Amino acid sequence: MTFHATSGTSGGSAVITLSGDLTGEAAAAEFRGHVEQAVQGAPRRLVLDVRRLPALTAAGLRCIAFAQQHLPPTAQIFVLGATPAFRETLRHGGLAGSVTLLDEQPRN
């Protein structure tokens, strides 16, 4: 399964949709590029739609940490549709308390 990412904005939110297998340098670089683009807009919210991403890798965890460090202090990170494995990686990586886990898309 290959990795794919798309991004866009909606209101004050930046939305990055991830799917496939987030392993390998190319996949991590693609995710990082979308995160860098998103934080440049200083959104109030960053929504990571991971409903089609089975697991979070260490490289993906670093991308989320990068977003947290570069977003405005009042910005929130939402993770939409995280699998149990994804949630476990967030917890082990120390980022579980830094994101809000959602089962459905937040409203603007």
> If you ran DSSP here, which 8-state letter would residue 12 be given?
T
Q: How many CB atoms are closer than 10 A to CB 49?
A: 20
Per-residue pLDDT reduced to its tens digit, 10-29: 889 999 999 999 998 999 99
Domains of the chain, with CATH numbers? 4-102 (3.30.750.24)
Per-residue pLDDT reduced to its tens digit, 40-76: 999 999 999 999 999 999 999 999 999 999 999 999 9
Using alpha carbons, select from 106, 52, 69, 64 the residue that is nearest to residue 89: 64
In this prediction, residue 107 carries a pLDDT of 67
pTM as predicted: 0.93
Q: State the chain's mean pLDDT as an integer.
A: 94
Per-residue pLDDT reduced to its tens digit, 77-93: 999 999 999 999 999 99
